[in-house]
Structure 1
Amino acid sequence: MRYGVLGPLAVWDAEGQPVRVPEAKVRALLANLLVHGGGPVPADRLIEDLWASSPPGGSTNTLQTKVSQLRRVLGREQVVREPAGYRLLLADDVVDATRFQELAVRARAHREPAVKADLFADALALWRGPAYADVAESLFARGEIARLEELRLAVVEDHAEVRLTLGEHTALAAELGTLVARHPLRERLRMAHMRALYRSGRQGDALQSFEELRRELAEELGASPGPEAAALHRAILRQEPQLATPAIGSRSCRTNLPAPLTPLIGRREAAAQVLARLDPRAPARLVTLTGLGGVGKTRLAIAAAGDAADRYTDGVWLVELAGLGAPSDPDDIAERVITTLGLCDTAATEPDLDDLVGWLCRAVADKQLLILLDNCEHLVESVALFTKSLLSAVPAAHLLLTSQEALDIPGEVVHPVPPLALPELTDPRTVARSSAVELFVQRAAAAVPGFALDADNAAAVSTVCRRLDGIPLALELVASRLRTLSPQELAARLDDRFARPDVRVRGLPDRQQTLRGMLDWSWQLLTPDERTVLRRLVVHADGCVMASAQAVCADGKLPAERVPDLLSRLVDRSLVVREGDRFRLLESVAAYCAERLAEAGEENAVRARFVRYCTESAERESERLRGPEQRCALDRLNAETVNLRRALDLAVAQGPAGYAVRLVNALGWYWFLRGRFPEARRSLRSALAADADAAPGARRAAGAWLAGVELRASPGDAAPLPVDEDPTAGVEDPVLRGRLQWFVGTGLTGRGHLDEGRALVEAALAGARAVRDRWGEAAALVELAGHGPAPEGAAELGAALFREVDDRWGQLRANRSLALAAEHRGDPVRTERLHREGLLMAEELGLWTEVVETLTLLGGAALADGLLERATELYERALSVSAERAYHRGEIRAEIGLGHAARLRGDRDAAASHLHRALAKSRSSGHATHAADALEELGLLTRA
């Protein structure tokens, strides 16, 4: 059973059908038990609550009668008698009030403003009226009603503030007026209304609202508005600029830039210069920061890009290219950008993914965004080709690059990044003005608490900074040596070291000689085991977690249990950077360690351990992708994406036999869930071509994965695989074979080969049942639900099995089938409930095309019910998500829905505007079928 208390008391069965609870006292009894949240309620307390001061004669027996009546409705096992009293058995998430609070918590924890707004909206949509409306006058319910109403108002305020950051001030100005009048003393609600009024051009109304607040507080409480409300009032009077645009969380501030761990030192002027060049109105749209390794190009670029974030309405995005191998082409770079922008599942809906650069350019053609491509020096030619294509096709896009050499293409503005400024004198006051000294002193104070620049050490500090040429990485490496050396001793050691001829490396410029010498000295100061761990870490392309460091660095001579301590020492020496639970090498340190790894003759062995660890880790996570750990497994695989690609490249090029095919088989389902079909197709092809010695069964499995991917990712007019063949034949594992039969069968069905696809899915169902694979059985049942004689029954069973294994993706698929069946049966209540549950699952898994499709289905249902405001809100949410994710089909459908709603409201201008936008988008993006829908709706508007 499911219970509704956010409105009149309601009960629904497992099918979503309303359950009638007869008689007022029985309903009051149920409400009382729900108020106590499944906890026991003594019989005498129930009697007092239900009959107040006039209990009936034989009240205990009368209560037992009411309990019996309730049990007949809910089921005898649902109402339990215990020594402490009666209680209602409540499973998780069966009471709408509990669901409401969970959604609010999830919304507040989410970082994406659009998702926060959607979650808050879903929480508020659960309210059907005042809480416990049937028993609002009963004393036992008043405390809970007040608590829930306070929670509701807090969520309304949260939702309003998030919507303000998303630019929805006009709608809020209208919506909040009634609510403010009902709750005139809530300052936070009033402030949201004032901001919405001001941003809507209604400054006078905003000031009048504040005066109403002042008067209400004085009359009711004898108080004045709080400092925040007063400050907002003053800001409105002064028309302060920050009021005009959202401060945080808006689309203009969408970014994945990391938060800086330390302040930017010595680059204030440089950061201002780069920021000026990143003005969207500037003629140059490509800025490249150049300089030697370790000079701080990335740090400067991130700082400047962060300062420019509010200038780009579609965000500022950091795309790390260090993990891409030298043979990478422009499509590889485009794939990395698509992944960073979160466009994977959007791209997966397209019929042809062969030209990723072209698709990306079309997807972001109307976006205003800044992309920071970091560490381009090993991909100069490919980056140049990618850059020219993107800037030509996307007029509002800007690119910021970091590289040791410029691209040397037309339109590029090169900004050299020199080392930090060196001190000229030894006077402490003069030395302190040097940015090199400022950085060294800050890092020294972090390594040796209490360290400060003074008259005694100023000369030595100045010598250190000059000897190291002001190179930030060199200064950071040497600062940790102050734990064991005084500044004077450190300066003497450096003078002695750099005076020796053996530290000079032929062919390197002077400043690179300095950094190389500093790295050499840092290396020589390490113990043999510390050197071993440091050089072996370089195999990781994108940092690593501790488990990976242990697996890769340990061998017969170095036990795994020693690695954590050694790694900690390397962090202390600034040779390894720790970020959360990950450890990584800076690019210059990584390049140095790669040389040391080759000198030690360990490359092959370390790479083999890395490939083995990545493969076995991916295989473990693959199993977790179909169950309760699905979300966490997706997150872990997301974090390891770059390392997994490096592992596959190594396995294909020179890895131990069988690992390339094993790795792609382990990643097949992950690629599907994330919509990464181009990566899947390329990886599967390369593994099968290179790993001929893999086990035959594993090769057949990889071939089946490839067949399913080709069916989904090839152009619509491309020849599919022979439909009379079963590509899973020869797969030895019966569980895997059944799942692959389902994967290929659903691909065939999607390409219109219904009979062949159904035959494979039916074989998958028989195989799953034979080996008791609950997941495989559920997937096959849900797929067959749309084609069998009893579709809803198959979908119900599939949904139950997916719930049994706790697979959220599977429950989402099952919910969609059940919702469509309920819609065909004419059950709008159940249809909406199932779609809403699916919407939450899709948001949780980051399946944005599913989110949009569900929102448009809900919008259509609201239109059919005449709920025009609700439909408009749903279509606007669909449009917002579609625009952010470059999902053109979703944008078109949302615009058509908004046009339909506006026509029914009688707003002809708005309807025409939405429909013409839909028509233009459908023509420019190639979705001709939707152009016909837009034209039909325009025809209705014209006739009206």
Structure 2
Amino acid sequence: MRYGVLGPLAVWDAEGRPVKVPEAKVRALLADLLIHGGGPVPADRLIEDLWAGSPPGGSVNTLQTKISQLRRVLGRDQVVREPAGYRLRLAGDAVDALRFQKLAERARAHDEPAVKGDLFADALALWRGPAYADVAESLFARSEITRLEELRLSVLEDQAEVRLTLGDYTMLATELGELVAQHPLRERLRMVHMRALYQAGRQSEALQSFQELRRQLADELGVSPGPLVSALHEAILRQEPHLAPPTGRLPCRTNLPTPLTPLIGRQEAVDQVRARLNSDSSTRLVTLTGLGGVGKTRLAIAAARDMAERFADGVWLVELAGLSAASTPDDIAERVITTLGLCDTAATEPTMDDLVNWLGQAVAEKRLLLLLDNCEHVVEAVAALAGTVLATVPGGHLLVTSQEALDIPGEVVFPVPPLALPEDTDLIAQSSAVELFVERAAAAVPGFTLNTGNAAAVSAICRRLDGIPLALELVASRLRTLSPEQLAACLDHRFTLPDVRARGLPARQQTLRSMLDWSWELLTTDEQTVLRRLAVHADGCTLSSAETVCAGPDLPPERVPDLLARLVDRSLVVREAERFRLLESVAAYSAERLAETGEESAVRLAFVRCYTELTEHANDRLRGPDQRRWLEQLDAETVNLRRALGLADAEHALRLVNALTWYWFLRGRLTEARRSIQAALNTNGQATPAARLEAQAWLAGIELRTTGTLHEDPTVGLDNPVLRARLQWFIGSGQGLEGRRLVEKSLTGARAAHDRWGEAAALVEHASYTSDRRDAELGAALFQELGDRWGQLRATRALALVAELDGDHPRAERLHREGLLAAEELGLWTEVVEALTWLGQTALSSGHPERATELYERALSISAERAYTRGEIRAEIGLGRAARLRDDQETAKHHLNRALAKSRSSTQTAEAQAELNLIPQLHQSPRSA
């Protein structure tokens, strides 16, 4: 039995199935026994704990009844009676609290920060809620709950310090804010938060945090801050160099996953790949080729991770397995744009139809490495994109994994071989194939080691499997039921069968196919069903999605978690945090099996329905207090959502885009929205007129944000009054006089439909037209009540505009800072830039050019990272103006000429030129002349 106390009390049997413990007193009894860690608890102690000093008549008999009930659930031998009392039989780390402590100890003992961080994350992932939540009010549990909560906070602090060393200060600055608010007097936690704020460029907030600590300590305890946090405060004031953000590390500008297991036998290959892409080499494109399962992706990630210090603008993994074989170069470019975070700027660019060339222009001055993974089914499209990147981005390097080369100029092909096989019995341990097999075998069968007794069998296994890593991993799990000698004999038997090798495949590809066949045959019918149905997912899935997609008339959804766990144990499914995915070769094999069954259409339909319902569920929650969580969940499902759109019929495609457009808008992916809505509208098949009208209205609002003029109301014909009012607001936003009239219609309609969100949005937008303080304040109050952080950000912007018009600059600055925090929290980087430039402008108006320079430099950095051209221009103009006010004319000229060179509109050009004209004796650039 396994027990969970880090949250509501939970019990699982040896197969991982939940075991229900009925009745509150029986659960309290179990909790009491667990708190004593398997030690004996006297009967009178249990009676006192369970009935809190008011035991029932015949309490001994009543306790024995509860003990019997617990034994019926857990098994008679699990609750033992001894002279000293009752005790729970616990094996090893059967309790999640003990596993939590062991993982934390392992993390603290490790030297590598990335590994420490992962172990701390694994430990914290065991928490499902407050410890012993079922008995939180019971006196007997309070000390243990307090102890575990203190341990949790300590691990959170440990993890935060590790993340700081890795450079993850921007996210920490936001994430720790709520935790500090819950535990305002924890000085160590406060110090980590202060450092994160400072390194994220938010020095004033770091100093303000210290003042809050000082005030609260004085008010509540009558003491002053300790020497460590006081010293940190002084160091921040002096801006001491040791507090500067880590250099050379790029964890905030990369998405490379942390390997779950060490890479074995590939160091020489890693070094060779790095040598081909090093700074002394003219090579900028390396393609790793090889059969599926040979380890191309693992090798590429390891090589890319080691090169992170070379690329100031990041090292990025772009997963292409989920794209269809009919994908165009623009589809590949869109995936790269989304991965790099450049999607936030798509809304501001009117010429985003040629995404390949736009991408080349956007990253033309960047130094970055793109790892394009699993390209074999889209080779021609990837080749076209790669050619553009190599031609237009001098600092751009590409690392590609594919079963075939791109065959374009400048490409260096690196065939990835299988692992080295044992050449001599005496040197078997030096074989990388043997090393991998033994490592995976030890994970499957704790205590397994290579010795003289099994060396010959292990050598035979590795030879039979040609040293193919995936084949070795698949077969290692069989040692749970077979000895190495039996396993080797099984392989001998299989490989002598005349039909084991598929015709037309290379020998090593046949070997892998044989191993997949064997693994498949050893599965139960239900395990096979889950595995083949999982293949419809393009980028892994959550447990909930697996239950929905894999279930059917032949398989109830409640059975899927257990079957999924068995597939993980057999190395056929990989679990990464809360997601499950198939390795490339297993996914391809499972897709073949799915097609053979004739149920492919039904499973695809289940997949489309699952993600349609997910997006519709999420869409309802993107306008409330759970906005950030659902934004992140949809971010994680981006690839699956694209697959669903590609598979959907007209009705489901329209439902999908109608539910996703608000998400795309919040993330700034207007080009993706436009392309997807147009594709859905052109999908063949029947769809309801209402869904088609809604999509057309969303598309009108998207297109008006880049090109076009509003002439009529595209919402005519929509029957849903809430939806119609919201779309009228969306379409009318920022569209001049006609837009204002549509927003006013939206406000009337939202109030008539009692839609408070729609009313809030229309009020805030109306205030931006009229500068009406009352409208802005009422809209802000409604968004505050609804808990919509994006809405609060927009309302704050409107209120700040009113404050500026009223001449209340301190209030305007405070509001812009509030907006900046909200934008950072949601990851809305264009909004972050807008807030920073407004703050820079306010600082200049207040006579603080030095402070304005800091703000504009931060805005310029973020804009450059995100290819947000309008933000770059505004920041350059602001920096030029600040330099002029500091009498630094050369710096002012430099920034203003850069703004002119980047300007794409007459308004931007005029603003930059006007600022240049204020500098005496200016030698104008050709552009400005």
TM-score tier after normalising by the smaller chain length:
0.7 to 0.9
Q: 1:906 aligns with which of 869, 876, 887?
A: 887
What is the match of residue 664 of structure 1?
657
What is the match of residue 207 of structure 2?
124
Contact 1:464 1:491 in 2 (8 A): yes
| 1:216-295 mapped onto 2 (5 Å cutoff) | 246-247=246-247, 249=249, 254-295=253-294
Task: Return the letter of the residue paired with 2:201.
Answer: D
Alpha-carbon spacing, 1:796–1:688, altered in 2? closer, same or farther (3 Å): same
What is the match of residue 918 of structure 1?
899
Q: 2:769 aligns with which of 783, 787, 790?
A: 787
What is the match of residue 819 of structure 1?
800
Contact 2:594 2:600 in 1 (8 A): yes
- Distance in structure 2 (CA, Å) of the matches to 1:370 and 1:625: 33
> Normalised by the size of structure 1, how large is the TM-score?
0.75
What is the match of residue 861 of structure 1?
842
| 1:728-743 mapped onto 2 (5 Å cutoff) | 728-743=715-730
- Distance in structure 1 (CA, Å) of the matches to 2:831 and 2:368: 25
Q: 2:914 aligns with which of 927, 930, 936?
A: 936
Contact 2:187 2:229 in 1 (8 A): no
Identity %: 65
Task: Return the letter of the residue paired with 2:207.
Answer: L
What is the match of residue 638 of structure 1?
635
- Distance in structure 2 (CA, Å) of the matches to 1:155 and 1:535: 57
Describe the superposition over 1:673-700 as per-residue Cα deviations: whole angstroms up to 9, x where unpaired: 1111122112111212225421111211
Contact 2:197 2:205 in 1 (8 A): no
Alpha-carbon spacing, 1:155–1:405, altered in 2? closer, same or farther (3 Å): farther
Alpha-carbon spacing, 1:264–1:335, altered in 2? closer, same or farther (3 Å): same
Contact 1:322 1:376 in 2 (8 A): yes
- Distance in structure 2 (CA, Å) of the matches to 1:509 and 1:533: 29
Describe the superposition over 1:799-851 as per-residue Cα deviations: whole angstroms up to 9, x where unpaired: 11111111111111111111011001000111011000000001111111111
- Distance in structure 2 (CA, Å) of the matches to 1:130 and 1:563: 49
Alpha-carbon spacing, 1:405–1:109, altered in 2? closer, same or farther (3 Å): farther
Q: 1:154 aligns with which of 219, 229, 232?
A: 232
Task: Return the letter of the residue paired with 2:878.
Answer: G
For residue 98 of structure 1, report the CA deviation from its aligned partner. Answer: 9.2
- Distance in structure 1 (CA, Å) of the matches to 2:912 and 2:476: 66
| 1:480-491 mapped onto 2 (5 Å cutoff) | 480-491=477-488
- Distance in structure 2 (CA, Å) of the matches to 1:857 and 1:335: 30
What is the match of residue 877 of structure 2?
896
Q: 2:514 aligns with which of 512, 517, 542?
A: 517
Alpha-carbon spacing, 1:109–1:388, altered in 2? closer, same or farther (3 Å): farther
Task: Return the letter of the residue paired with 2:272.
Answer: Q
Describe the superposition over 1:124-173 as per-residue Cα deviations: whole angstroms up to 9, x where unpaired: 367899966xxx9xx9669667239965653675xx6xxxxxxxxxxxxx
Describe the superposition over 1:375-430 as per-residue Cα deviations: whole angstroms up to 9, x where unpaired: 00000110011111111111110000000000001110000001011112223xx0
Report whether the alignment pairs 1:348 with 2:347.
Answer: yes
| 1:798-809 mapped onto 2 (5 Å cutoff) | 798-809=779-790
- Distance in structure 1 (CA, Å) of the matches to 2:642 and 2:515: 32
| 1:96-111 mapped onto 2 (5 Å cutoff) | none
Contact 2:254 2:315 in 1 (8 A): yes
| 1:36-55 mapped onto 2 (5 Å cutoff) | none
Alpha-carbon spacing, 1:891–1:118, altered in 2? closer, same or farther (3 Å): same
What is the match of residue 828 of structure 1?
809
Q: Which moved more, 1:736-745 or 1:570-579?
A: 736-745
1:399 aligned counterpart, secondary structure: strand
- Distance in structure 1 (CA, Å) of the matches to 2:520 and 2:776: 63
Contact 2:337 2:359 in 1 (8 A): yes
What is the match of residue 432 of structure 1?
429
Report whether the alignment pairs 1:588 with 2:577.
Answer: no
- Distance in structure 1 (CA, Å) of the matches to 2:304 and 2:553: 46
For residue 943 of structure 1, report the CA deviation from its aligned partner. Answer: 5.5
For residue 893 of structure 1, report the CA deviation from its aligned partner. Answer: 2.0
Describe the superposition over 1:877-930 as per-residue Cα deviations: whole angstroms up to 9, x where unpaired: 1122112212222222222222222222233333333333333333xxx35533
- Distance in structure 2 (CA, Å) of the matches to 1:786 and 1:439: 63
Alpha-carbon spacing, 1:643–1:104, altered in 2? closer, same or farther (3 Å): farther
- Distance in structure 1 (CA, Å) of the matches to 2:289 and 2:338: 26
Alpha-carbon spacing, 1:553–1:446, altered in 2? closer, same or farther (3 Å): same
| 1:371-382 mapped onto 2 (5 Å cutoff) | 371-382=370-381
Task: Return the letter of the residue paired with 2:916.
Answer: L
What is the match of residue 619 of structure 1?
616
Alpha-carbon spacing, 1:619–1:194, altered in 2? closer, same or farther (3 Å): closer
Task: Return the letter of the residue paired with 1:786.
Answer: S
- Distance in structure 1 (CA, Å) of the matches to 2:901 and 2:725: 44
Describe the superposition over 1:8-28 as per-residue Cα deviations: whole angstroms up to 9, x where unpaired: xxxxxxxxxxxxxxxxxxxxx
- Distance in structure 1 (CA, Å) of the matches to 2:630 and 2:418: 42
- Distance in structure 2 (CA, Å) of the matches to 1:830 and 1:786: 17
Task: Return the letter of the residue paired with 1:319.
Answer: V
For residue 791 of structure 1, report the CA deviation from its aligned partner. Answer: 1.3
Task: Return the letter of the residue paired with 2:462.
Answer: C
- Distance in structure 2 (CA, Å) of the matches to 1:884 and 1:548: 34
1:564 aligned counterpart, secondary structure: helix
Contact 1:779 1:810 in 2 (8 A): yes
What is the match of residue 74 of structure 2?
none
Report whether the alignment pairs 1:708 with 2:701.
Answer: yes
For residue 942 of structure 1, report the CA deviation from its aligned partner. Answer: 2.1
For residue 340 of structure 1, report the CA deviation from its aligned partner. Answer: 0.7
Report whether the alignment pairs 1:876 with 2:851.
Answer: no
What is the match of residue 763 of structure 1?
745
Contact 2:250 2:314 in 1 (8 A): no
- Distance in structure 2 (CA, Å) of the matches to 1:709 and 1:271: 45
What is the match of residue 394 of structure 2?
395
1:414 aligned counterpart, secondary structure: strand
For residue 352 of structure 1, report the CA deviation from its aligned partner. Answer: 2.2
1:146 aligned counterpart, secondary structure: coil
Report whether the alignment pairs 1:775 with 2:762.
Answer: no
Report whether the alignment pairs 1:506 with 2:511.
Answer: no
- Distance in structure 2 (CA, Å) of the matches to 1:323 and 1:364: 24
| 1:410-421 mapped onto 2 (5 Å cutoff) | 410-421=409-420
Alpha-carbon spacing, 1:140–1:711, altered in 2? closer, same or farther (3 Å): closer
- Distance in structure 2 (CA, Å) of the matches to 1:308 and 1:775: 47
| 1:16-165 mapped onto 2 (5 Å cutoff) | 117-124=200-207, 146-147=224-225, 151=229, 154=232
What is the match of residue 209 of structure 1?
none
What is the match of residue 572 of structure 1?
569
What is the match of residue 205 of structure 1?
none
What is the match of residue 403 of structure 2?
404
- Distance in structure 2 (CA, Å) of the matches to 1:107 and 1:366: 37
Describe the superposition over 1:328-355 as per-residue Cα deviations: whole angstroms up to 9, x where unpaired: 1111111111111111121221122211
Contact 2:248 2:309 in 1 (8 A): no
- Distance in structure 1 (CA, Å) of the matches to 2:370 and 2:389: 11
| 1:549-568 mapped onto 2 (5 Å cutoff) | 549-568=546-565
Q: How many residues align?
A: 745
For residue 536 of structure 1, report the CA deviation from its aligned partner. Answer: 0.5
The unaligned stretches of length 5 or more in structure 1 are: 1-92, 161-174, 178-191, 197-244
2:348 aligned counterpart, secondary structure: coil
2:920 aligned counterpart, secondary structure: helix
- Distance in structure 2 (CA, Å) of the matches to 1:920 and 1:114: 34
Contact 1:710 1:720 in 2 (8 A): no
Task: Return the letter of the residue paired with 2:813.
Answer: E
Report whether the alignment pairs 1:629 with 2:626.
Answer: yes
1:811 aligned counterpart, secondary structure: helix
- Distance in structure 1 (CA, Å) of the matches to 2:190 and 2:385: 38
2:430 aligned counterpart, secondary structure: coil
Q: Which moved more, 1:876-885 or 1:902-911?
A: 902-911
- Distance in structure 2 (CA, Å) of the matches to 1:100 and 1:359: 47
For residue 573 of structure 1, report the CA deviation from its aligned partner. Answer: 0.2
The unaligned stretches of length 5 or more in structure 2 are: 1-176, 923-929
Contact 1:104 1:119 in 2 (8 A): no
> Normalised by the size of structure 2, how large is the TM-score?
0.76
